[in-house]
Amino acid sequence: MKKLKIKTAWDLGLLYQDNDDPAIEADLVKAERAYDDFAKKYGGQKDYLTDESQLAAALSDYEQLEALAPAKPLLFFHYQTHLDSKNSAAEAKVNLLSQRLDKVTNKIIFFPLGLSKISKDKQAEYLKSEILIKWRYFLKVIFDHSQYLLSEPEEKLFNLLSLPAHALWVKGNEKNVSGQEVKWRGKTLPLAEALGKISALPTRDRRALHTATIEKLKGVADFAESELNAVVISKKISDELRGYANPYEATVLGYQNERATVDNLVATVTDNFAISHRFYRLKAKLLGLRRLTYADRSAAVGKTRQKISFGQAVEIIRRAFAKVSPIYTETFDEFLRRGQIDVFPKTGKHGGAYCSSYANLPTFILLNHLPDFRSVTTLAHELGHAFHSKFSFENQPPFYRDYTTAAAEVASTLFENFVFDEVFSTLSAKEKIVALHDKINGSVQTIFRQIACFNFEVALHTAIRARGALSKTEIAALMNAHMSAYLGPIFKLHPDDGYFFVYWSHLRQFFYVYSYAFGELVSNALYSRYQADKKFEVKIRQFLSAGGSASPENIFASIGLDVRHPEFFKLGLQKIEEDIAKLEDLV
């Protein structure tokens, strides 16, 4: 096989040649004109609200706006700021373009608002209409949101205020954090790289580096305190005006989950924190420690290999995906050749990892890759998102190309499972103990830790709403309390450990974290079906291709999974207990 050429940095030339490319302005003007034309055509008449044939024509025109990708210029500069937080020119362009695009979208905000004001009787009629069948689920989502929408002037104001009331605060904290560096063994490490190294170090070094990173976070916590209070209060104002009953209701509705499903998930996982406690007792034994600290929660208990280079990681993933379907390997290869994956950490680069997909635009994946097994599964995780986007965009009309966040995390964790098995089958008996530990450790982090974080967010929002604000010390103490709940009595946390709230970006995405637990438990069920019958890959492709054409509950029901069942999540947790029991027997 011809050696694959790999680019390890983003090629943003896939979007525009440079910051002065005239195509940037041309694309903006094209979008503005299209939105203007729609507003002129439908802004002054309301016949489409009472006539299903005219509504079908209006929805068809509205759908074409979705296919324009007006955010392309904004993303071009946004990606630059994530590669270099000190790129002030790109940051200024992001702010200007955000405001400009808010004005563009405000021109047509009357349309979904008008649909939301349709009478209940008419809504029921339209949801049964054969003429409108193509847009039935789209209309259902709007109708479900209708009671929480405000007047057109108020909605326009909220759109315009989203930048200073939320985005700029969060960006400021990210800039503060991503610019931090840690001195370690004579080297200066970007904070993201230092955090990534902690788990692989011996106990003394692990705890020392953890302390050094927490000290950095504590040092910038004053701004994070103001930032987090500001965005939570902004959300409180919005929720109260809209009439949401609790802080997370807007997120659940936005992710198109059913409230009962999410409440069942959170309650089931919280009620079973003892599973996590059992694992950490075993982990302490493997580490030869009587007590654990926050630094130890992800500590390695051994090594499967000394190092896994990025090139080796690529080959592992390619082999794993090829066994499922060649389409996954071919897509991965294309990303590598075209410069759609930015691989290595550096000072000023956005921490963590993510996949950014937008219809009709290239998908970009950001990593902070280290030569370890966790980075291999992280890459597989982000590729799962990328495959989800590929099949969704190829198989769904514009309204349904964007899948919900809850469904997204199913795809990502599913592809992690494929890669784990590829590595596990090559290991010695001793290495399999390490790998099984790492797999359980990952599940505990994805399920129990994320639900503990969800519970922390509920408590945080509730306290700030009641008291007006919390100090950084109080926020840190609250985080420690909820982290202790899932970690168990084997852990002794330091008060400063709670300052991890400064770094945890998902807290700014308000209750997003439940989707990780939902995703892992559903993906485990999918993977079990695939292991029992490799032909189930057809059903997996069906799920990936469904996009946002139905609720997550109904998409999974269509391929044979009943996530509404009260015992569904409990059964998924029992699988983790079985793995812990297996590991206990091995050690």
Least confident of 22-36, 252-266, 413-427, 555-569: 413-427
pLDDT of residue 55: 96
Enter the DSSP assignment of 359: T
In a domain, 113, yes or no: yes
- Whether 41 is covered by a domain: the verdict is yes
Closest C-alpha among 458, 103, 425, 423 to residue 251: 458
Reported as a single tens digit per residue, the pLDDT across 453-473 is 999 999 999 999 999 999 999
What pLDDT, on a 0 to 100 scale, did the predictor assign at position 44?
84
How many other C-beta atoms are found inside a 10 Å radius of the C-beta of residue 510? 19
pLDDT band at 423 (very low <50, low <70, confident <90, very high): confident
Question: Residue 327: its pLDDT value, please?
Answer: 96
Which of 207, 287, 301 lies closest to 490 in space, CA to CA?
A: 287
**Residue (of 365, 385, 378) closest to 316 by Cα position:** 378
Identify the pLDDT of residue 422: 84
The three-class DSSP label of residue 280 is helix
Taking the C-alpha atoms of residue 258 and residue 379, their distance in angstroms, rounded to an integer, is 30
313 pLDDT band, cuts 50/70/90, is very high
Strand pairing report for 364-366 and 341-342 = parallel
Q: What is the model's pLDDT at position 426?
A: 75
Asked whether residue 474 is domain-assigned, the answer is no
Q: What is the DSSP string of 82-128?
A: HH-TT-HHHHHHHHHHHHHHHHHHHTTTHHHHHHHTS-HHHHHHHTT
Residue 139 lies in a domain: yes
pLDDT tens digits, one per residue of 131-174: 999 999 999 999 999 999 999 999 999 988 999 999 999 999 99
Give φ, ψ of 135 to 5 degrees.
-110, 15
Rounded to an integer, the average pLDDT of 35-47 is: 93
Assess whether pLDDT exceeds 50 at residue 34: yes
Confidence of residue 1 (pLDDT cuts 50, 70, 90): very low
Please give the single-letter amino acid code of residue 493. L
- 414 part of a folded domain: no
**483 or 406, greater pLDDT:** 483
Does residue 99 carry a pLDDT above 60? yes
Q: Which residues of 269-306 are buried (b: 16+ CB within 10 A; e: fewer)?
A: beebbebbbbbbebbbebbeeeebbbbbbbbbbeebee
Domain residue limits at 31: 23-149
Number of Cβ within 10 Å of residue 151's Cβ equals 10
Rounded CA-CA distance 356/14 in Å is 14
Domain assignment of residue 287, yes or no: no
Q: What is the mean pLDDT of residues 180-205?
A: 93
Q: What is the pLDDT of residues 323-362, one digit of tens each?
A: 999 999 999 999 999 999 999 999 899 988 999 999 889 9
- Which range has the worst mean pLDDT, 205-214, 370-379, 466-475? 370-379
The answer as to whether 52 is a domain residue is yes
Give the full edge-to-edge strand order of the sheet including 364-366. 341-342, 364-366, 354-356
Identify whether the C-beta of residue 558 lies closer than 8 Å to the C-beta of residue 542: yes
What's the whole-number average pLDDT of the chain?
Answer: 94
Task: Give residue-wise pLDDT tens across range 276-304.
Answer: 999 999 999 999 999 999 999 999 998 76
Whichever domain contains 27, its CATH number is: 1.20.140.70
User: For residue 446, what pLDDT is reported?
Assistant: 93
Q: Please state the domain count of the chain.
A: 1
Higher pLDDT among residues 457 and 438, named by residue: 457
Residue 2 is predicted with a pLDDT of: 56
Tens of pLDDT, residue by residue over 466-505, are 999 999 999 999 999 999 999 999 999 999 999 999 999 9
The answer to whether residue 3 sits within a structural domain is no
Over 80: is that where the pLDDT of 67 sits? no
